[in-house]
Amino acid sequence: MILKDLFRRKGRTILTLLGISIGVAAIVALGAISKGLKAGFTAITQGSQADLVISQAESFSALVSSVEETVGDEVRNLPGVADVDSMLYTNALLDNTTYLILFGYDPDGFAIDHFRIVEGQALAEARGVRGKPLILGRQAAESMDVGVGDALRITGSAFRVVGIYETGSGFEDAAAVVPLEEAQTLALQPQRVSVLYVKLDDPGQAEQLRARIERRFKDLSVATSAGFASQEELFDLLDGIAMAVAGLAVVIGGIIMTNTLWMSVFERTREIGVLRSLGWRRWRVMGMILGESITLALLGGLMGGGLGLLSLVAIRESGSVLGIMGSRLTPDIFVRALVTVLALGVVGGAYPAWWASRLMPVEALQYEGGGRAREVHIPGGMTARNLWRRRTRTALTLLSIGVSIAAVVALGGVAGGMVGAFTVMMRDSQTDLFVAEAGVDMDFSAIDERVGERLAAWPGVDGVSGMFWTGASTEEMPMLIIYGYHPREFAIRRYRIVEGGPLSGRREIIVGRMAADKIGVEVGDTFRLLNSNFRVVGIYETGMAFEDAGVVIGLHEAQSITGKLRQVQFYLVSLRDPDRVDQVQADLEAAFPDLDFSLTSELTENTSDFRVMTEMADQLSLAAVFIGALGMLNTMLMSVLERTREIGVLRSLGWRRRRVLWMILKESLVLGAVGGALGIPLGMGLGALVGAAGIWGGALEPTYTPRLFAQAVVVAAVAGVIGGLYPAWRATRMRPVEALRYE
């Protein structure tokens, strides 16, 4: 009986299933990506056959860890240590959208053995190769359509694919492996590695060796290979994002579920009256509606699982940042999805089930559908009166559209805030051109200081300022941004000192006001950062929370703690005549092909990191709006069905089809526009919550522009029109005689 009732209105049921399935797909896909990355980190360490893994202490992630290679020689000489090997992580941007992870390993070391060669030869066997040798993961080879013998150009260097490997880890199989020295050259990190792998004579002595190494090397963190991945702060961040996105989709799907069941109960009021008159008790009626709700949720969950799997395939083939992370489906992901849809079914059907159980048999049997809805005189004409007839349905639809638009506003505001913060940083420091290494994402950019000297001597250039940024994890702030500037270069001048003084010597630090308050440091205190001691000489303010929640150290100190000696991450260029910036940019691009030059005002469009972030926000927003449009379509279909006889009366009174069409479209347009307007403040509140609860401890300030608000309202209105188009067309196809006979 439950399935029969659900598929009595196939269109409505299918639309509801789609809305639920998108939320479940988000849970499955994003959960699998987070699990895949964690499994990838586990495979990197456990596959290395190491017993201990050494990385930089307090580093936010092993991906940005930097350890002196000579430490490996010292550890190798410790009693109980059998061998030490190294790995360096970096990446490359092959084109504007495709990232390739690069691992650097010693071809003759023990850690590279788990890269099982299935075609060609291993790095250690590569001899007489034209170009530098590289082995490529099976997944990366298939997605890029590259085979053994093909050439790859990575950040200006020519590599030759000598082998294809498999490890069973999506994270590694979507990557490439090059000799450690080549990776160090690409990353400009000579004699530095990301992690050290330690193999012991007796694995049972791991804890004793671990404590001994940490006592000897205060700036290093030592973990067992099994426990290394659990230390990654990055996983908590990804899990939080996954749950937030999935939760948003599920909320919208739940609203659609409630709306659908509410309309189903209204439509079957007389039928429920018959059942009650035949002796059905209230709990039995409630059980019937809840059974339909749970069944609908489970079917939506089943569809969502399949859609999530398809999404993972599409993401993997896209070559995007999410694609290179890999994915891993585990039973707990599907258990989480199952629990979610069951909760969705119970919550979504609770009120409609309760309302149905409260129907009195006599009143239910007298129900005549939409034709006898109580007329209420309110201003706004026919459109307002029609929407007011079913206030609950209208409210649910407005809530569905409002939450969808809130997602657009919140995601757009957060992305705009991050981009805007960086743009303001460049503008206020009087930067005309932003310079980064070409072919890598911003976190791995590395430019030789000699290039900066050449830039400073270029005609028309007034000043050049090197810049570094990295992150550290502290107890008070899980993600503390560290900025590195030369104390005498122009870019540091924007950090206005409000207490103490500016940087003037070695091992000094100035702390942003927000960071100082959160961490509890004052001028004169000793600040321990990445296991190095700094003396707090000043407190600064810039007026931007993103910077005021960070710290600034000297450029040389930043180079030291990141292992990038004699190099910078970015160069900020100030011109004598800013009006000639286009010409100077063109000349510099021709002279320095290995660098990317961007106008400060065009960072969003020209910088891959910001572009990818904006695209991801747009894609998530599009998914949210799509779910909201499904809810609109469902609502308008029910409205048309409920008013079939009324539409028949209007047609018999001479209303032409286009007039009926416009009446329905106008209602959906009003619903969309009002829902969009309600979604704007809701989105601002959601964005503020994300900024306040983020890993930066409230340092992220969403930026809202009139253009974003206008876009939100327009998108909502368009979603309303699209959602109402088919119901409006369906209404125009009704024949007056048949409509008047509708029961």
Are 257 and 317 in the same domain?
yes
- Whether the per-residue pLDDT at 18 is higher than 70: the answer is yes
The per-residue pLDDT for range 485-524, each reduced to its tens digit, is 999 999 898 899 999 999 988 899 999 998 898 888 999 9
Tokens 């007034």 found at: 462
More confident residue, 82 or 743: 82
Cα 121 from Cα 135, distance rounded (Å): 8
pLDDT at 84: 92
Are 555 and 614 in the same domain?
no
| Contact between 62 and 232 (Cβ < 8 Å) | yes
Tokens 């709306």 found at: 259
State how far the alpha carbon of 663 is from the alpha carbons of 160, 634, 637, 714, 725, in Å.
Answer: 65, 17, 13, 20, 11
Are 307 and 397 in the same domain?
no
Are 70 and 212 in the same domain?
yes
pLDDT at 189: 79
Nearest Cα to Cα of residue 52 among 211, 180, 266, 184: 211
Are 328 and 393 in the same domain?
no
Tell which of 545, 560, 593 closes a domain: 593
Cα 407 from Cα 630, distance rounded (Å): 16
Domain that holds residue 80: 48-224
Question: What sign does the CA torsion over 551, 556, 560, 565 have?
Answer: positive
Nearest Cα to Cα of residue 191 among 103, 72, 101, 74: 72
Q: How many other C-beta atoms can be found within 10 angstroms of the C-beta atom of residue 84?
A: 24
pLDDT at 368: 56
* Highest mean pLDDT: which range of 130-134, 231-235, 359-363, 381-385: 130-134
DSSP string, 125-141: G--S-SSEEEEEEHHHH
Residue 704's pLDDT band, with cuts at 50, 70 and 90, is confident
More confident residue, 70 or 7: 70
DSSP string, 68-120: ETHHHHHHHTSTTEEEEEEEEEEEEESSSS-EEEEEEE-TTSSGGGGSEEEEE
Say if 41 falls within a structural domain.
no
Say if 42 falls within a structural domain.
no
pLDDT at 525: 92
| Contacting residues for 632 by C-beta, under 8 A, at least 6 apart | 397, 400, 401, 668, 671, 672, 719, 720, 722, 723, 724
Nearest Cα to Cα of residue 466 among 550, 573, 538: 573
What percent of the chain stands above pLDDT 70? Answer: 78
Are 457 and 390 in the same domain?
no
Say if 296 falls within a structural domain.
yes
Say if 536 falls within a structural domain.
yes
* Highest mean pLDDT: which range of 48-52, 239-243, 361-365: 48-52
- Whether the per-residue pLDDT at 404 is higher than 80: the answer is no
The per-residue pLDDT for range 151-185, each reduced to its tens digit, is 888 876 788 999 999 988 777 888 899 999 988 88
The per-residue pLDDT for range 90-148, each reduced to its tens digit, is 877 776 556 788 899 999 999 998 899 999 999 988 776 777 899 999 988 888 888 99
> How far is C-alpha 729 from the chain's CA centre?
38
Tell which of 159, 194, 224 closes a domain: 224
Nearest Cα to Cα of residue 642 among 397, 362, 368, 365: 368
Work out how many domains the chain is built from and give that number. Answer: 4
Nearest Cα to Cα of residue 257 among 348, 354, 352, 351: 348
Are 15 and 120 in the same domain?
no
Residue 623's pLDDT band, with cuts at 50, 70 and 90, is low
Are 621 and 725 in the same domain?
yes
pLDDT at 371: 43
The per-residue pLDDT for range 268-302, each reduced to its tens digit, is 677 777 777 778 888 888 888 888 788 888 888 88
Say if 38 falls within a structural domain.
no
pLDDT at 535: 93
Residue 348's pLDDT band, with cuts at 50, 70 and 90, is confident
Phi-psi region for residue 24, left (φ > 0), alpha (ψ -120 to 50) or beta? alpha
DSSP string, 596-660: EEEEGGGHHHH-HHHHHHHHHHHHHHHHHHHHHHHHHHHHHHHHHHHTHHHHHHHHHTT--HHHH
